[in-house]
Structure 1
Amino acid sequence: MSQHAENKPNYKVIPIMAALLLSGFVGMFNETALNIALSDLIDLFRISNAAGQWLTTGYLLTLGILLPVTGLLLQRFTMRQLFTASLALSIAGTLIAIFSPGFSLLLIARVIQAAGVAVMLPLMYSTVLMIIPPAKRGGAYGLIGLVLVVAPAIGPTISGLLLERLGWNWIFIITLPVLLVALLIGLRHLKNFSTLTKPKLDLLSLFFSTLGFGGIVFGFSSAGEHENGLNSPTVLISIVVGVCSLFFFVKRQLSLGEPMMDLRAFTYKMFTVGSIMIFLNLMVMLSATIMLPMFLIRGLGLNAFEAGLAMLPGGIVNAVMLPIMGKIFDKYGPKWVVPIGMAMIVAVLWLLSGITVNTALLQIMILHSFLMIGIAMVWMPSQANGLNQLPPQLYSHGSAIMNTIQQLAGAIGTAVAVSIMTLGMNEYLKDSANEPNIESLAAATGIANVFTIAIFIAAIGFVCSFFIKRVHVSNS
């Protein structure tokens, strides 16, 4: 610990964080940027809708499989090695995507990009824990949160503009210089400040992890491709296999002296509470970010670009609030901030559950903005407080666990939301077959049902928020 403290002044925090944030921004931008181009790519490559969806599902699946392994990687390789490998993968994937002549090569490019991002996300959090004193970590996590929220939020808007003016390749072309700059900054300033323990790779753990996390993410992520949604045999089998494998994975980790993912992190109460808050919060946030654009397009008749612009103020508000919440967390802790944020989320979801085709666009934009304020008040303090309680030997595992939880929450929240919406639409269409403007009314009804269910999820989070207490850690 003394050596760590002595070396800390040598860390050039600003350029190191700049390199990591630029890399993370591109990774999260890529996660959603291609969504708006899927229709064009399906026509261009003459593939089915299900095949086209793999450009997104493949990306998410790669993240779901690799993120649990990153805790092990962070103990076997230096920060510098992992940063370089992450950027090399991201740059290689981007170059392949730019020059892809067909669907197969573009899908390979997406998988390579996702592999780079899977390494980068835990690396960002582990670096903060190692080079920034606890009293200032809230601000750093606020910046990371800003990147993780703003990049996917503006992805569809920027993509819409690029598709209209230049072409789908430019979605990748514009990110290449950013990755190259991040690589150069990182190589210049990132040092090897982690302590390597080099644990053995347990192949059985790797097998159960791949099947477990991969099965769950694949099952939920692919639910939207099937007519029966979550009731599709393919989806159900994937989820069941995933859950069973995850059970054996957990059992295996608890029996090993050097586990691949050290679940002892959950013996720290605030880490557990923080993980639960993040899971519930991300489910709500990602459900809303899927449902609201659908409502704007199907219910209010906006086009994709207009819907993207309408969602932008909420993303900007969230971006502004995350660093502010970081500063507030550093000064006051999470005790009051998180419950107030959850109360705001519950209230906004209650109002959103009453939306109809007559709801004003401005009202939707305002409600979305307040929802994103509430999410900023919950997400960053819960994550920072939970990770702060962990001892240094669990930093890498804690970061990997929380990033994996975010991917699971994203896959589950999105799939459940789409299934509830579809069920609500079908019920409405069955009962009101001859009504005018039937498609818009059905979409509005199905989406309102999603927000009704989301109220109960947020209410669980509100109850959990009263268990959160500030973790006091030494600044050494």
Structure 2
Amino acid sequence: MNISEINSTSTSLDLKNLKRGPIMFALIVGMFVAALNETLMGNALPELMKSFGVSAATAQWLATGYMLVVGVLVPVTAVLQQWFTTRQMFLSAMSLFFVGTVTSAFAPEFGVLLVGRIIQAIGTGMLMPLTMNTIMVMYPPEKRGGAMGLFGLVIMFAPAIGPTISGLVVDGLSWRWLFYLVLPLALISIIVGFAVLRNVSEITKPRVDLFSIGLSTIGFGGIVYGFSKAGEHGWSEPEVIWTIVASVAALILFVWRQLLLKVPVMDLRAFRYPTFSLVAVLLVMLMMTFFSTAIMLPLFMQGVLLLTAFKSGLILLPGGIVNGIMAPVAGKLFDKFGLRVLAIPGLVIVVVSLWLLTRFDEASSTGFLVTVYIAMMIGVSLVMMPAQTAGLNQLPRHLFPHGTAILNTLLQVAGAIGTALYISIMSNGQKNYLSGSSDPQSQGEVVKALANGINNAFWVGVVIALGALILGLFLRKAKSQNVTIIESEERS
């Protein structure tokens, strides 16, 4: 499809009088509560296990099930956005999230709580790519970095403060307050969205290929589930092996079918654009590296430094705050200088930070840990949202929903793979250390074994981050495929 063809279809959407501020407010509040909810359960799991009398393996489904549903639903949003207006999608997503939150808050038993979390996840899975797509359409290319920076502030800052808020609430109040506190914010987002949100996407109502949706569900859902189980039980479990094999086979069929369909569920032609393809791979590697710190640092602080969950959350909080502050700053810098100028220094900072983390042991100070984590978050913020913006900028407008769905899906899968990978490396490092120890039962040796396993995981993180840095060297300034469209709309 050429530029003139895109222009002819997009002029039916009157965006010249669009009130961006109120729309951004509704989107950001909605994304804040959705993103916060992803990490809000972590410190509450022991209390929930006690309240409902369930095991850790059962309770962890409150987190795993949430990630699984989001991973399954995100690929389908590209089609949903062509069938329903932006307003319908947003209000449906936030209404589902609100219903799920109410269900969870008043759950009389664990099964009801899990159902509530799944309903929340359905809303989140719809909301994430919808928000990115709406921002990409509302703003011209030269202003998208700043707008995506605000989006980045939310999706990076909210999960970072989740464990701290969770620990504080659980220590002083009932776990149900984790949901009570979210309800007013979700309601505000619904009310504002109802009042100001307008449609910014082209409604084409394409034929929906149910077979593709089935393959997508099995493939992406199976990958998230299989790798999550691998991180929990190990790679040798038959359930893990067969789930991953089946999901990979489904994904191969899914890709093959999308290339044959005239109107695919997920248009993989987005990968024809070099910057988008490069950014997609780079973000997968960066997300896996980011997860290495998000998972390993709490384990290190609680298992090696012997800190409480609440204190470990407080130690990570400054990094989360700095990351939130840096996201819009990085967006503005991207608008001015482009991706390469930000990505190379950012990836260097990530590599050096991870290398420093490999040197941590039971004698490490919390102050040094805070400093290294803040540096790491600065590096991540210089790359994460600017890279997504640069990749999507190169796509023509009709591929925006597919591009956002592809990137969000890949990030979910990368998170699942990263979780399993680093936990398995850590576990093997622990076992290897204790097998060579003269006193493997002593508390001191157990602590050293855990530190050794975590250091091994960080070394793998260093290698992956170096790979991302090498990819970053190939980044070049790419011309937006939709500058003409935006300029035409603003002149009209």
**TM-score range with shorter-chain normalisation?**
over 0.9
Alignment-derived partner of residue 137 in structure 2 = 130
Contact 1:57/1:222 (CA < 8 Å) preserved in 2?
no
> Cα deviations across residues 16-54 of structure 1 (Å, max 9, x unaligned)?
011111111111111110111111111211112211111
**Hey, what's the Cα distance between the residues in 2 that align with 1:264 and 1:292?**
38
Q: What is the aligned counterpart of 1:215 among 208, 212, 222?
A: 222
2:70 is the counterpart of 1:97:
no
Q: What is the aligned counterpart of 1:311 among 316, 335, 339?
A: 316
Q: C-alpha displacement at 1:172, in angstroms?
A: 0.5
> Cα deviations across residues 323-344 of structure 1 (Å, max 9, x unaligned)?
1110000001012211111111
> Cα deviations across residues 346-375 of structure 1 (Å, max 9, x unaligned)?
111111111111111111111111111111
**Hey, what's the Cα distance between the residues in 1 that align with 2:414 and 2:25?**
27
2:256 is the counterpart of 1:251:
yes
2:50 is the counterpart of 1:50:
no
**Hey, what's the Cα distance between the residues in 2 that align with 1:410 and 1:221?**
9
2:392 is the counterpart of 1:423:
no
> Cα deviations across residues 351-405 of structure 1 (Å, max 9, x unaligned)?
1111111111111111111111111111112111000000011010001111101
Q: What is the aligned counterpart of 1:272 among 256, 277, 281?
A: 277
Alignment-derived partner of residue 338 in structure 1 = 343
Matches within 5 A, 1:31-430: 31-226=38-233, 229-430=234-435
Contact 1:134/1:388 (CA < 8 Å) preserved in 2?
yes
**Hey, what's the Cα distance between the residues in 1 that align with 2:410 and 2:374?**
24
**Hey, what's the Cα distance between the residues in 1 that align with 2:182 and 2:319?**
23
**Hey, what's the Cα distance between the residues in 2 that align with 1:85 and 1:380?**
26
Contact 2:169/2:178 (CA < 8 Å) preserved in 1?
yes
Alignment-derived partner of residue 453 in structure 2 = 446
Secondary structure of 1:448's aligned partner: helix
Alignment-derived partner of residue 490 in structure 2 = none
**Hey, what's the Cα distance between the residues in 1 that align with 2:83 and 2:318?**
42
Contact 1:13/1:131 (CA < 8 Å) preserved in 2?
yes
Letter in 2 for 1:191: R
Uncovered stretches (5+) of structure 1, i.e. residues with no partner: none
**Hey, what's the Cα distance between the residues in 2 that align with 1:166 and 1:63?**
29
Range 177-186 or range 430-439, more displaced: 430-439
**Hey, what's the Cα distance between the residues in 2 that align with 1:255 and 1:224?**
35
Contact 2:215/2:253 (CA < 8 Å) preserved in 1?
yes
Contact 1:53/1:225 (CA < 8 Å) preserved in 2?
no
**Hey, what's the Cα distance between the residues in 2 that align with 1:445 and 1:141?**
38
Range 21-30 or range 260-269, more displaced: 21-30
**Hey, what's the Cα distance between the residues in 1 that align with 2:231 and 2:56?**
11
Contact 1:138/1:326 (CA < 8 Å) preserved in 2?
yes
RMSD over aligned Cα atoms: 1.3
Secondary structure of 1:437's aligned partner: helix
**Hey, what's the Cα distance between the residues in 1 that align with 2:200 and 2:30?**
19
**Hey, what's the Cα distance between the residues in 2 that align with 1:327 and 1:457?**
27
**Hey, what's the Cα distance between the residues in 2 that align with 1:433 and 1:205?**
56
**Hey, what's the Cα distance between the residues in 1 that align with 2:278 and 2:131?**
21
Q: C-alpha displacement at 1:436, in angstroms?
A: 5.2
Alignment-derived partner of residue 11 in structure 1 = 18
Q: C-alpha displacement at 1:8, in angstroms?
A: 2.4
**Hey, what's the Cα distance between the residues in 2 that align with 1:419 and 1:85?**
38
**Hey, what's the Cα distance between the residues in 1 that align with 2:146 and 2:447?**
43
Letter in 1 for 2:432: E
> Cα deviations across residues 164-204 of structure 1 (Å, max 9, x unaligned)?
11111000000000010001111111012211111111111
**Hey, what's the Cα distance between the residues in 2 that align with 1:124 and 1:219?**
28
Q: C-alpha displacement at 1:84, in angstroms?
A: 1.0
**Hey, what's the Cα distance between the residues in 2 that align with 1:209 and 1:406?**
15
TM-score using structure 1 length: 0.97
**Hey, what's the Cα distance between the residues in 1 that align with 2:13 and 2:266?**
30
Q: What is the aligned counterpart of 1:457 among 425, 439, 464?
A: 464
Q: C-alpha displacement at 1:4, in angstroms?
A: 4.2
**Hey, what's the Cα distance between the residues in 2 that align with 1:217 and 1:195?**
31
TM-score using structure 2 length: 0.94
Contact 1:230/1:416 (CA < 8 Å) preserved in 2?
no
Uncovered stretches (5+) of structure 2, i.e. residues with no partner: 1-6, 488-492
**Hey, what's the Cα distance between the residues in 1 that align with 2:151 and 2:237?**
37
**Hey, what's the Cα distance between the residues in 2 that align with 1:67 and 1:398?**
11
Letter in 1 for 2:66: Y
**Hey, what's the Cα distance between the residues in 2 that align with 1:255 and 1:35?**
42
> Cα deviations across residues 253-291 of structure 1 (Å, max 9, x unaligned)?
001000000000000011111111111111111111110
**Hey, what's the Cα distance between the residues in 2 that align with 1:193 and 1:63?**
23
Q: C-alpha displacement at 1:6, in angstroms?
A: 8.2
> Cα deviations across residues 78-104 of structure 1 (Å, max 9, x unaligned)?
101101110110000001001101110
